[in-house]
C-alpha cells in the first residue's frame, strides 16, 4: 500500500482522488446492475446536466472553504441569478447575451457582498451566508413578483445558449466545465491569490503578520465563488429551463458535499479542485441513480447529508492523526 | 531525600521513523526535586507521557511505591498519585477557582453541586500550600502565576505522591517564580517526589537536588546539583562546549545613522509614551519582565495592533504604519514570540513559507515562479542550516528551532532592513539557540538593524549593543552594553513608577 502511495504518478494525481474515482466507477456499475435501463447515453447525459451547475457551485465554494469559511447561499443565489436575468430577458426584452452577463453579475454581486462582510467587518461566514441566502430568495421573489421564469427552448431563436450544455448528443458542457476546473486549479495552485487564500485558511494571523493584505484576498475568494455561482445559473437554466423563486437550498449541501468529499478541508488551508470535480460527479450520479431506482429525492437529501458528515469526520480524524 | 518512590527502567519507545526513547532510566526519591533536562526533542516529554499513561511503552518497567505499574491513561496515573502540571494551563476562565479544582469530581448535595463544600475544601488546600487565593474568585481574574498555583493545588488534591512540573516557570514573573519555588520546597518537605522540567539553568541550580540529563532519546547521566556547575550540565546536554559570555562592548560604528526612531508611542495600557532610536547595524535589546509591554510595543510599531498616538521615522522620514502590510513596505520584519500562532503556516511547505512576505518578487506574470521560489528557499535552508529533507516539506513536520529558521528566512527573503526578533530562542534547544545568535550577529554585521526582545538576561547581555528596559508599559531605562549589569537591568525592570 505504502509503495503504491509513493509511486510518482499516484502522488501527482493524489491517492485519495484515485480512490474516489474508483468509487465513482463502482457506483456507476452498481446502478447499471440494479436498474435495467441505466446503462447508455441518455442517463449519462442526464447525469452530466446535473453535474454542470452543481460543479460550478462546488468549484466556487471550494475557494470559500479553502479560506476556512463557508457559503450557504450558493444555491439560492444561483436561483436568484437565473430568475433575475431570466425576468430581464422575458419581461424587459433584454438581449440574451446581456441576460447571461446579468446572471454572472448577480452571482458576483452576492459574492462581493458576502466577502466584504466576512473579510472587512469580520461577521462570521456562517451568519453572513445564512442571511444572504434569505436575501437572495427575497430579492428573486420581489423581482419576479413571485412568478417562475422559463428560459427559451432550444429550437427558438434565442435558444442558442443551450449549446453551452450540448450540441446534438455531444456534451459541450463537460468540456466547458473541465476547462473552468483547470482554470480554478491553476488559480488555486499557481497564482498569488490561490497561495494567499490557502495560506490564510491555514493560519490567518501569520499571513497578516507577513504583511499580506488578507482582507483583500479573503474577499476575493467569495467574489470568485459568487461569479462561478452566476455561471452555474446559466447551466442550470440551459438544462432545466424553468426556475421557481423560493428554492435552491438543497444544492448548498450537495455542492459542499462534493467539495469536502474531494478532500477540501472544512477547517481551511487544504483544497483540491480535482477532488471537487470527482465529488460532484459522484453526487450527480447519486441523484440520477436514486431517481432511476424510483426512490424520491428525499433519499438523496438524507444521503448527501450523511456524506457531508462522514467526509468532515474523515478530515477531523486525519488531522488528529497528524497531530 | 528519602527512599526511592518511582523508578523507570530501560524504557523504550519508538514512533514511526523515530526512536524516541532508547532504554532510558530515571528515578525519583521521596522528598527530592529532580530536574529532567535536555534539548528540545531529547525525549523528556515523551518519557513523562509514558509515565502518565499517555503513551504506551514498547519495553521497560515502571515501579511505583515498590510495585510494578502500567498506567493506561492520566486518570489512572492520577488516582495512583502521579500527577502532571502542564506548561499550558487547562483552566476554564469563567468558572471559579474551586469549581476548576474539583472539576469532574464535584461534591454533590442531592442533585445539585455543593459549591460551599468545594470552596471550603479548596480553602483548606490553599492553606496547606500557604497560598493566598480566594476559592470563589473567577479564574480569568487571576494572573497566570496564580492560575498555576491553582493547577498545583488541583494536583495536590489528588493526593499526589509524585508531581511532574513541565516548564512551570515559562510564563511566570520573577516574583511568581519565587512563590512557586516556595511551594515546591514545601512539597519537598512533605516528602513528595517532584520532577522538574525546565530549560532555565539558573532555576535548576536554585531549586533542584538532582539533575538527570537526556540527549536524543537516550539517558546521559544523573548529577547531584550541588556538586556540578552549569557548564557540566550544558555539556552533558549538548555534548559540546557552549559559551555564554556577555558582549564586552558595542559593535555599532560610532557614526552609524539612526534607521528607526520611535517617538511617544502610545497603545493602550501596555505601551505608554515609549521613545527610542535604533541605529544601523545595531542589536537593541528589549529587556523586562513578562508583561512589561515589550511585545505590545513591537506589535504597535509593526502595525499588528492599533496605536493611539506617536510618530515613527524610518531613515529620518516620518512614516504612517497602520497595518503589517505598511510596516513590511517600510522594510520592517517581525518575528513573533509565538511562532505557531503568528509565524508559520503549518500546512504550507518550507518554500511557500519562505516567500510568504515577498511573493511578488517570485512571480512570472500571473503565476508564481516555483523554480525561483524553490531556489531562493533552498539558498536560505543552506545558509541558515535548516534541517529539513527538502523545501517541499510541510513546516508542521519541522522541529521548533527549524521552524524558527523558516520564519527568519521569510524576512531575509523579503530583505528587511529592520528586524524585530521577539523572544527568538524561546522553546529552542541550546544548539539551535547558538546558531540563531550567530545569525543575528552576522545580520547586524551586514548592516541590518535588530530589535531583540528577550526575557533571558544572559541572552540580553550576550547579544545587545544597547538595552532598553521596560516595566509596566513604560520605558524605564536605557543602557549601553558597556555599563550594563544584571543587577542594574533588573532594578529598572522592577522599578516602581510614581
- Amino acid B497: pLDDT: 41
- Indicate whether B232 pLDDT > 50: yes
Region B428-437: what's the mean pLDDT? 79
Query: Is residue B243 included in any domain, yes or no?
Result: no
Tell me the nearest-neighbour CA distance from B456 into chain A, angstroms. Answer: 25
Query: Of B345-359, B442-456, B482-496, which range is least confident?
Result: B482-496
pLDDT (average), residues B317-322 = 95
Is B345 in contact with A207 (Cβ distance < 8 A)?
yes
Tell whether the model's pLDDT for residue B262 goes beyond 80. Answer: yes
**Residue B1 pLDDT > 70:** no
Which of B327, B344, B368 shows the shortest C-beta gap to A211? Answer: B327
| pLDDT at residue B498, rounded to an integer | 38
Residues of chain A contacting residue B348, judged by C-beta atoms under 8 Å apart: 198-199, 202
Does residue A169 surpass a pLDDT of 90?
no
Query: Does some domain include residue B284?
Result: yes
Q: CA of A146 to nearest chain B CA: how many angstroms apart? A: 44
Residue B279 has pLDDT above 90, yes or no: yes
The confidence score (pLDDT) of residue B170 equals: 66
What grid cell was written down for B301?
510599531
Opening angle at CA A100, ends A97 and A103, nearest 5: 150
- From the CA of A247, how many Å to the nearest CA of chain B? 38
**Is the pLDDT assigned to residue A78 strictly greater than 90?**
yes
Cβ-Cβ contacts under 8 Å, B367 against chain A: 186, 190-191
For the stretch B108-120, pLDDT in tens is 888 888 889 999 9
**B31: domain range?**
4-238
Cα angle A217, A223, A225; round to 5: 110
Per mean pLDDT, which range of A5-9, A138-142, A314-318 is the poorest? A5-9
Shared domain check, B224 and B131: yes
Q: Are residues B264 and B356 in the same domain?
A: yes
Name the minimum distance, in Å, from the CA of B125 to any CA of chain A.
36
pLDDT at B41: 63
Q: What percent of chain B has pLDDT over 90?
A: 47
| Average pLDDT of the segment spanning B364-390 | 91
User: How many domains in chain B?
Assistant: 2
Q: What is the pLDDT of residue B234?
A: 74
Its sign, for the CA torsion A15, A20, A24, A27, is positive
Residue-wise pLDDT for B322-356, tens only, equals 999 999 999 999 998 888 888 899 889 999 999 99
Same domain, B230 and B374: no
Half-sphere CA count of B231, side-chain side, radius 13 A:
6
B412 and B273 inside one domain: yes
Most confident segment among A36-40, A74-78, A311-315: A74-78
Q: Of residues B239 and B182, which shows the higher confidence score?
A: B182
First-to-final CA distance of chain A = 22
- What is the crossing angle of helices A74-91 and A41-66, to 10°? 120
Residue B222 and residue B143 share a domain: yes
Residues B122, B196 share a domain: yes
**Among chain B residues, CA nearest to A210:** B357
Mean pLDDT score, B205-219:
89
Percent of chain A with pLDDT over 70: 99
Chain B residues near residue A198 by CB distance under 8 angstroms: 347-348
Q: Answer whether residue A225 shows pLDDT above 90.
A: yes
Identify whether residues B273 and B366 lie together within a single domain: yes
Same domain, B218 and B332: no
CB within 8 Å: A210 and B410: yes
Query: Residue A261 has which C-alpha cell?
Result: 468529499
Which of residues B245 and A263 earns the better pLDDT score?
A263
The total of other beta-carbon atoms located within 10 Å of residue B382's CB is 9
Is the Cβ pair B325, A270 closer than 8 Å? no
pLDDT beyond 50 at B258 = yes
Instruction: Count CB atoms within 10 A of the CB of residue A84.
Output: 26
Note which residues in 312-351 of chain B have CB less than 8 A from chain A: 323-325, 327-329, 334, 336, 341-348
Cell of B64: 511505583
Average pLDDT on A90-107 reads 96
Q: Do the domain assignments include residue B245?
A: no
Residue B436 confidence (pLDDT): 87
Instruction: Give me the residues paired with residue B223 across strands.
Output: B211
Beta strands in A140-256 (DSSP E): 149-150, 242-243
Say yes or no for a CB contact (<8 Å) between B356 and A207: yes
Answer yes or no: do B227 and B345 share one domain.
no
Question: Which residues neighbour B293 within 8 Å (Cβ) at sequence distance 6 or greater?
Answer: B270, B271, B272, B274, B470, B472, B473, B474
* Residue A48 pLDDT grade (very low, low, confident, very high; cuts 50, 70, 90): very high
In order, the DSSP letters of B319-339 are E---SHHHHHHTTEEEE-S-I
Q: Quote the CA–CA distance of B141 and B153 in Å, as a whole number.
A: 17
Q: What is the mean pLDDT of residues A45-52?
A: 95
Which CATH number does the domain housing residue B435 bear?
3.40.50.300
CA distance B322 to chain A (A): 11
Phi, psi angle pair for A72, to nearest 5° = -95, 10
Angle at CA of residue B69, ends B66 and B70, nearest 5°: 165
Comparison of pLDDT for B393 and A80, the residue scoring more = A80
- Residue-wise burial string across B449-463, b where 16 or more C-beta atoms lie within 10 A, e elsewhere: bbbbbbbbbebbbbb
Neighboring chain B residues of A218 at a CB cutoff of 8 Å: none
Which residues of A make CB contacts under 8 Å with B?
A: 186, 190-192, 195-196, 198-199, 202-203, 205-213, 269-270, 322
**Among A119, A193, A197, A211, which would you mutate to test the B interface (most chain B Cβ atoms within 10 Å of its Cβ)?**
A211
From B238, B270, B299, give the residue that closes a domain. B238
Judged by CB atoms closer than 8 Å, whether chains meet at B304 and A208 is answered as yes
B178 and B289, same domain (yes or no) = no
Distance from CA of B395 to the nearest CA of A (A): 12
Return the residue matching grid coordinates 500550600.
B129
pLDDT band at B495 (very low <50, low <70, confident <90, very high): low
Cβ contacts of A322 on chain B, cutoff 8 Å:
396
Q: Provide CATH code, domain A21-27+41-315.
A: 1.10.3470
Nearest CA in chain B to A209: B324
Of B346, B352, B366, nearest to A195 by CB-CB distance is B352
The predicted structure's pLDDT at residue B179: 84
pLDDT at A24 over 70: yes
Which among A186, A192, A202 has CB closest to B359?
A192
Mutation target for A interface from B341, B343, B356, B392: give the one with most A CBs within 10 A: B356
User: What pLDDT is attached to residue A1?
Assistant: 66
Q: How far is A191 from chain B (nearest CA, A)?
A: 5
User: Rounded to the nearest 10 degrees, what angle do helices B230-238 and B430-445 cross at?
Assistant: 90
| H or E element in which residue A122 lies | none
**How many CB pairs below 8 A link A and B?**
72
Domain boundaries, given as residue ranges, for chain A: 21-27+41-315
**DSSP label at residue B340:** I
Which residues of chain B neighbour A199 with C-beta distances below 8 Å? 345, 348, 352, 356
Residues of A in contact with B49 (CB under 8 A): none
pLDDT winner (highest mean) among A219-228, B253-262, B338-347: A219-228
For a pLDDT cut of 70, what percent of chain B falls above it? 94
* Buried-state track B478-492, b at ≥16 Cβ within 10 A, e below 16: ebebeebeeeebbeb
Query: Helix crossing, A96-120 with A214-240: angle to 10°?
Result: 150
Q: Residues B391-413: what's their mean pLDDT?
A: 88
Contact A186 B367 (CB under 8 A): yes
Position B17 scores a pLDDT of: 58
CA distance to partner chain A, nearest, from residue B86 (Å): 18
A138 vs B39: which has the higher pLDDT? A138
Residues B312 and B450 grouped into a single domain? yes
Residue A133: which pLDDT band, with cuts at 50, 70 and 90?
Answer: very high
**Band of the pLDDT at B249, cuts 50, 70, 90?**
confident
- B455 confidence band (pLDDT: 50, 70, 90): confident
**B324:A270 CB<8 A:** no
- Whether B188 and B234 map to the same domain: the answer is yes
Q: Does pLDDT of B490 surpass 90?
A: no
Q: Is the pLDDT of residue B489 over 80?
A: yes
The mean pLDDT value of chain B amounts to 87
Using the 3D structure, point to which of B238, B267, B289 is the last residue of a domain.
Answer: B238
Question: For residue A188, is pLDDT > 70?
Answer: yes
Residue A155 has a pLDDT of 82
| pLDDT (tens digit per residue) in A302-312 | 988 898 898 88
- Grid cell of A98 as nine digits: 446581456
d(CA A139, CA A142): 5
Contact B69, B63 (CB under 8 A): yes
Task: Check residue B25 and give its pLDDT.
Answer: 93
Q: Quickly state the pLDDT bin for B139 (edges 50, 70, 90).
A: confident
Amino acid at each position: 500500500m505504502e509503495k503504491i502511495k509513493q509511486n510518482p504518478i499516484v502522488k501527482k494525481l493524489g491517492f485519495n482522488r484515485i480512490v474516489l474515482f474508483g468509487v465513482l466507477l463502482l457506483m456507476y456499475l452498481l446502478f447499471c446492475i440494479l436498474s435495467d435501463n441505466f446503462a447508455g447515453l441518455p442517463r449519462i447525459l442526464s447525469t452530466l446536466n446535473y453535474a454542470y451547475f452543481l460543479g460550478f457551485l462546488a468549484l466556487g465554494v471550494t475557494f470559500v472553504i479553502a479560506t476556512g469559511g463557508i457559503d450557504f447561499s450558493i444555491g439560492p443565489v444561483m436561483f436568484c441569478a437565473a430568475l433575475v436575468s431570466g425576468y430581464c430577458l422575458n419581461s424587459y426584452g433584454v438581449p440574451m447575451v446581456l441576460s447571461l452577463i446579468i446572471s454572472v453579475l448577480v452571482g458576483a454581486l452576492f459574492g462581493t457582498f458576502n466577502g466584504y462582510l466576512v473579510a472587512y467587518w469580520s461577521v462570521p461566514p456562517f451568519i453572513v451566508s445564512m442571511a444572504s441566502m434569505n436575501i437572495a430568495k427575497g430579492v428573486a421573489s420581489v423581482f419576479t413578483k413571485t412568478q417562475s421564469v422559463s428560459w427559451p427552448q432550444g429550437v427558438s431563436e434565442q435558444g442558442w445558449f443551450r449549446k453551452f450544455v450540448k450540441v446534438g448528443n455531444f456534451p459541450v458542457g463537460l468540456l466547458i466545465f473541465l476547462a473552468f476546473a483547470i482554470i480554478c486549479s491553476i488559480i488555486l495552485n499557481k497564482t498569488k491569490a490561490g497561495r494567499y487564500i490557502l495560506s490564510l485558511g491555514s493560519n490567518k494571523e501569520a499571513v497578516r503578520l507577513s504583511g499580506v493584505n488578507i482582507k483583500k484576498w479573503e474577499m476575493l475568494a467569495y467574489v470568485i465563488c459568487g461569479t462561478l455561482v452566476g455561471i452555474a445559473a446559466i447551466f442550470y437554466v440551459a438544462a432545466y429551463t424553468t426556475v421557481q423563486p423560493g428554492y435552491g437550498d438543497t444544492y448548498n449541501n450537495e455542492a459542499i458535499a462534493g467539495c469536502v468529499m474531494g478532500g477540501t478541508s472544512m477547517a481551511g488551508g487544504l483544497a483540491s479542485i480535482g477532488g471537487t470535480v470527482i465529488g460532484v460527479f459522484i453526487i450527480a450520479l447519486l441523484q440520477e441513480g436514486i431517481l432511476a431506482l424510483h426512490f424520491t429525492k428525499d433519499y438523496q437529501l438524507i444521503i448527501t447529508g450523511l456524506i457531508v458528515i462522514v467526509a468532515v469526520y474523515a478530515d477531523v480524524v486525519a488531522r488528529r492523526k497528524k497531530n | 531525600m528519602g527512599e526511592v518512590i518511582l523508578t523507570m527502567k530501560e524504557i523504550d519507545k519508538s514512533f514511526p521513523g523515530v526512536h524516541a526513547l532508547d532504554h532510558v532510566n530515571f528515578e525519583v526519591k521521596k522528598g527530592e526535586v529532580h530536574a529532567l533536562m535536555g534539548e528540545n526533542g531529547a525525549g523528556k516529554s515523551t518519557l513523562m507521557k509514558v509515565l502518565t499513561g499517555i503513551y504506551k511503552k514498547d519495553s521497560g518497567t515502571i515501579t511505583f511505591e515498590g510495585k510494578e505499574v502500567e498506567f493506561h491513561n492520566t486518570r489512572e496515573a492520577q488516582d495512583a498519585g502521579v500527577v502532571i502540571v502542564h506548561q499550558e494551563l487547562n483552566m476554564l476562565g469563567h468558572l471559579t477557582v474551586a469549581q476548576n479544582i474539583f472539576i469532574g469530581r464535584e461534591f454533590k448535595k442531592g442533585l445539585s453541586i455543593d459549591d460551599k463544600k468545594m470552596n471550603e475544601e479548596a480553602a483548606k488546600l490553599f492553606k496547606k500550600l500557604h497560598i493566598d487565593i480566594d476559592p470563589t474568585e473567577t479564574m480569568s481574574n487571576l494572573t497566570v502565576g496564580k492560575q498555576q498555583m491553582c493547577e498545583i493545588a488541583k494536583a495536590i488534591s489528588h493526593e499526589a505522591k509524585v508531581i511532574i512540573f513541565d516548564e512551570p516557570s515559562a510564563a511566570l514573573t520573577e516574583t511568581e517564580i519565587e512563590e512557586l519555588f516556595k511551594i515546591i520546597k514545601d512539597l519537598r518537605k512533605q516528602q513528595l517526589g517532584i520532577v522538574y522540567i525546565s530549560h532555565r539553568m539558573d532555576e535548576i541550580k536554585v531549586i533542584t537536588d538532582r539533575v538527570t540529563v537526556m540527549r536524543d532519546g537516550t539517558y546521559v547521566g544523573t548529577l547531584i546539583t550541588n556538586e556540578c556547575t552549569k557548564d557540566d550540565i550544558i555539556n552533558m546536554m549538548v555534548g559540546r562546549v557552549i559559551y555564554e559570555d556577555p558582549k564586552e562592548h558595542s559593535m555599532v560604528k560610532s557614526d552609524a545613522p539612526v534607521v528607526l526612531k520611535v517617538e511617544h508611542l502610545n497603545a493602550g495600557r501596555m505601551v505608554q509614551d515609549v521613545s527610542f532610536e535604533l541605529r544601523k547595524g545595531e542589536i537593541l535589546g528589549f529587556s523586562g519582565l513578562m508583561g512589561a509591554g515589550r511585545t505590545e510595543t513591537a506589535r504597535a510599531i509593526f502595525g499588528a495592533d492599533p496605536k493611539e498616538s506617536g510618530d515613527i521615522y524610518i531613515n529620518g522620514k516620518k512614516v504612517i504604519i497602520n497595518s503589517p502590510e505598511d510596516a513590511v513596505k517600510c522594510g520592517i520584519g517581525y518575528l513573533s514570540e509565538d511562532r505557531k500562532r503568528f509565524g508559520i503556516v503549518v500546512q504550507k511547505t518550507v518554500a511557500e513559507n519562505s516567500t510568504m512576505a515577498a511573493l511578488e518578487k517570485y512571480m512570472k506574470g500571473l503565476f508564481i515562479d516555483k523554480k525561483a521560489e524553490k531556489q531562493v528557499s533552498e539558498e536560505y535552508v543552506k545558509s541558515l542550516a535548516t534541517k529539513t529533507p527538502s523545501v517541499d516539506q510541510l513546516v508542521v513536520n519541522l522541529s521548533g528551532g527549524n521552524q524558527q529558521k523558516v520564519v527568519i528566512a521569510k524576512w531575509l527573503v523579503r530583505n528587511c532592513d529592520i528586524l524585530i526578533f521577539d523572544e527568538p530562542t524561546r522553546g529552542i534547544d541550546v544548539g539551535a539557540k547558538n546558531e540563531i545568535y550567530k545569525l543575528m550577529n552576522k545580520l547586524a554585521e551586514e548592516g541590518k538593524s535588530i530589535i531583540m526582545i528577550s526575557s533571558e538576561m544572559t541572552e540580553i547581555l550576550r547579544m545587545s549593543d544597547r538595552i532598553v528596559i521596560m516595566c509596566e508599559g513604560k520605558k524605564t531605562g536605557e543602557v549601553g552594553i558597556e555599563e550594563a549589569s544584571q543587577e542594574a537591568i533588573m532594578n529598572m525592570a522592577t522599578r516602581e513608577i510614581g
